[in-house]
Amino acid sequence: MSGAVDGGPRAGRVAGPRGAGFALRVDGRDVTAYDGESIAAALLAGGVEAFRTTADGEARAPFCHMGTCFECVVRVNGRSLRACLTPATPGDDVGRVDEREPDERRAG
């Protein structure tokens, strides 16, 4: 497997058969997802490092991947959802939240 600490994608998919792949739209760019994956898994495997940014400018990413830490909350088709509990669906429009920005870039 390619090195990780040199700045490349950190997370990666394990080799093996998968179903249909499709695109998620994440902050305007396409990220691949496969049938059966959570949005969190697809984003991680797609090289998305920061799922949200705090008011202090800190990048955060999934911590528990079971729905208790709420670090993975993103806007999915207009709703605030935990990415780790949300199955990726073709056409999903995913937006990350940066708490430093007003209004439309923030949750709510």
Q: Residue 39 Cβ, how far from another protein at the closest point, in Å?
A: 11
Query: DSSP label at 83?
Result: G
Q: Which amino acid is at 44?
A: L
Closest distance between another protein and the C-beta of residue 90, in Å?
12
**18 to 77, contacts with another protein by CB under 8 A?**
18-20, 34-38, 41, 44-45, 49-51, 54-56, 58-71, 73
Nearest 5°: CA angle at 42, between 49 and 95? 65
CA distance 92 to 28: 11
Query: Are 90 and 63 a contacting pair, CB within 8 Å?
Result: no
Binding site for another protein (CB under 8 A): 1-5, 10-20, 34-38, 41, 44-45, 49-51, 54-56, 58-71, 73, 80, 85, 87, 99, 102-103, 106-108
